Amino acid sequence: MSNATLDVLDYEGSTEELDAYIEEQNFTVEGFLNDVSYEFKGYIPTKEALLFVNFIKEVNDGSEENETPIIHLKMMDSVFNAEPMCAILVFRGAGKTTVFAEYLILFIAAFGYMPGFGEVDFILYVTDSIENGVRNLRRNVEFRYNNSEFLQKLIPNQRIGLIDDKGVAYDMDEMDAAVKAGVRFTDVRLELVNYKGKKIVVRGYGVSTGVRGTKEGGKRPTVAILDDLLSDTDAKSPTVIENVNNIIYKAVKQALHPTNFKIIYLGTPFNAKDPLYIAIESGAWKSSVFPVCERFPVSRKEFKGAWEDRFTYQSILNSHTIATKVGNISSFYQEMMLRIHSDEDQMIDPKTIHVTHYEEEMKNKDDHNYYITTDFATSEKDSADYSVIVIWKHDDKDHLVIVDAYLKKSRMKPNIDALFDFVAKYKPKLVGIEVSGQQGGFIDWIQSEMRTRGEYFTLAKQKGREHTNDLGIRPRKNKILRLENMLSLFNRGQISICKEVIDSSYGKELFQELELATPRGFLSKHDDAVDGMTQLMDINIFKPSEALLEEVKPKNKFDMIFSDENFSPKEDAESSYVV
């Protein structure tokens, strides 16, 4: 398992410094998963984790079906601490709701505090829906309470008669409700009072339910448990995902006590746009990831599982085999290995892409044709798409090389400036500009800039519509189909990428998107880097002719005197827009 945290809640530095630090720390789910180790050598559980495990055993009178796995102790250690925001990504069936919702609520009810945090009066429980998650929680907590003598002693479900120092009984109707009863259960509200009269309240919400202004007895909640907020269908909806983000960071965060709060976020990933996935990669949460085993498929001898008493090698092998046979292997990797794609599901393996170097590709620069493809966004907000510019070199052997690139979240003015700088540098034959949707006004803007700057270039037309007057690219296929059309070029080794581009922000984003591109769609947060690249398939490009190459090559020493010897690939590379 792996965990990391970054205290950014009170961060006072610049956004650029924070982004650089997060990138340096490599807060990625894939990075965490690659570091997972279930050796547990030298691990010593905290006293809080041991106390909580002993409580669970007392509740069940030692009759658990399986032994307590070490990962449960590790999960407890990742939550029972002073960190205000804790995120746990864990495989399906690991008991996350059982441990951090059902038993945790009962522990707080019994003793009045949460290990590693302190006193608790009021808890929020937020899940996918009231009909599913909230009602299941109520039923399970009630079942555990009704079947545990230990709990019933700590949280007595009876009316308690009190008398004063003269032996006169208090009027029961005037007594506080907390003294009248030990437990009160409804579908959306749990009330539990321990033997000392300490009351806690748990209120349940679905992600579509309003949480703002939640109070009990004039007090704000101090603990929030966010549990499997998305369903299979919801994970595909940008609207639902945006709503979930609002619930987490606006509704829940603002509903809690402003200085004394704890958020526990639990779940299994659906895709890279999953708010839990993003939370872990943000570096803002104390994060832990727990796949069902370190690696799979592996031999029985190499197998190292998270909970081998329950999830044996044979059971995982059976699940993998069935998933493979029914063509659903991606679900196995998503739900059990926490990897939102599998090698079998991957369209392009970035490791197979040929790598070259800018200086080498810029030799005889003028002997080649250059093309520019773009994918401009219309907003610079953090949640917006990237704006992308890709520069292609096309040689007489029909080989294509990405020699330069630009990727940024910005308004169109900086994008236009970058585009004209690239045009001045590479003198492209064609420049592709997408004109779908809100991008329709880009052509007029660019043509206006041409006249203002005195820098003219040819705007590409959609392949097959060269005979029309319609400038711009209007892709008619979805993005995955466009990438599929490019597969043959990659498979033949016809496309290369300069190492300088690979190391840039564009290259890093491109390779992440390629790794998460599946026939079912993009599982990555963005698809802009790939989209800017695949636009080349919508342009009618041509390679330089052999005759033209002979014409431009120096023929004798006199010609050599006037050749462009001042061109420096190194200096040109340093002025590149690769960022």
CA distance 151 to 328: 43
DSSP at 83: -
- Work out the burial of residue 113: count CB atoms within 10 Å of its CB; fewer than 13 is exposed, 13-18 middle, 19 or more buried: middle
The two most distant CA atoms of the chain are separated, in Å, by 122
Helix (H) or strand (E) holding 404: strand 400-408
Q: What is the pLDDT of residue 555?
A: 46
Contacts of 325 (CB under 8 A, 6+ apart): none
Beta strands in 468-561 (DSSP E): 495-498, 517-518, 521-522
pLDDT recorded at residue 47: 95
Using the 8-state DSSP alphabet, how is residue 466 labeled? T
Structurally, at CATH architecture level, domain 350-574 sits in: 2-Layer Sandwich (3.30)
CA dihedral 203, 206, 209, 215 (to 10 degrees): 20
Portions of the chain given CATH number 3.40.50.300 = 2-162+172-290
Estimate to the nearest angstrom the gap between the alpha carbon of 321 and the chain centroid.
Answer: 28
Per-residue pLDDT of the chain (579 residues; tens, 9 = 90+): 554 444 444 445 555 555 554 454 456 788 788 889 999 988 999 999 999 999 999 999 888 888 899 999 999 999 999 999 999 999 999 999 999 999 999 999 999 999 999 999 999 999 988 999 999 999 999 999 999 999 999 998 764 444 555 555 545 444 444 344 578 888 899 999 998 889 999 999 998 777 766 778 788 899 999 999 987 777 777 888 888 888 898 889 888 988 899 999 999 988 888 899 999 988 889 999 999 999 888 889 999 999 999 999 999 999 999 988 887 888 898 999 998 876 667 788 777 889 999 999 999 888 999 999 999 987 656 557 899 999 999 998 899 999 999 999 888 899 999 999 999 999 999 999 988 766 668 899 999 999 999 999 999 999 888 888 889 998 766 788 888 888 888 888 899 999 999 999 999 899 888 888 887 777 777 889 999 999 999 999 988 864 444 444 444 444 444 444 444 444 443 334 444
pTM of this structure: 0.67
Core vs surface per residue 324-349: b (16+ CB within 10 A) or e: eeeeebbebbbbbbbbbbbeebbbbe
- What tens digit of pLDDT does each residue of 353-389 get? 899 999 999 998 889 999 999 999 876 565 578 999 9
pLDDT value of residue 383 = 52
Residues 6+ apart with CB under 8 A from 311: 93, 292, 293, 305
- pLDDT in the model for residue 356: 95
CB atoms within 10 A of CB 545: 11
In DSSP terms, 408 is beta-bridged to: 387
Are 127 and 137 spatial neighbours (Cβ–Cβ below 8 Å)? yes
Closest C-alpha to 80, from 98, 106, 100, 60:
100
Structure tokens at 573: 């590379």
Residue range(s) occupied by CATH 3.30.420.240 in the chain: 350-574
Cα–Cα–Cα angle for 144, 145, 149, nearest 5°?
105
- Per-residue burial over 417-431, b if 16 or more Cβ lie within 10 Å, else e, is ebbbbbbebbebbbb
pLDDT tens-digit map of 81-126? 999 999 999 999 999 999 999 999 999 999 999 999 999 999 999 9
- Closest by Cα among 331, 346, 343, 347 to 297: 343
**Token pair of 278, please?**
């993003």
- Cβ burial of 544 (10 Å; 0-12, 13-18, 19+) is middle
> What are the phi and psi torsion angles at 262 (to 5°)?
-145, 125
Beta-strand pair 369-375/387-394: antiparallel
Residues 505 and 407 sit within 8 Å (Cβ to Cβ)? yes
Question: Does domain 2-162+172-290 match CATH 3.40.50.300?
Answer: yes
Query: What pLDDT sits at residue 167?
Result: 53
Nearest CA-CA partner of 400 in 434, 364, 353: 353
- The CB density around residue 415, as the number of other CB atoms within 10 Å, is 20
Structure tokens at 230: 């998305």
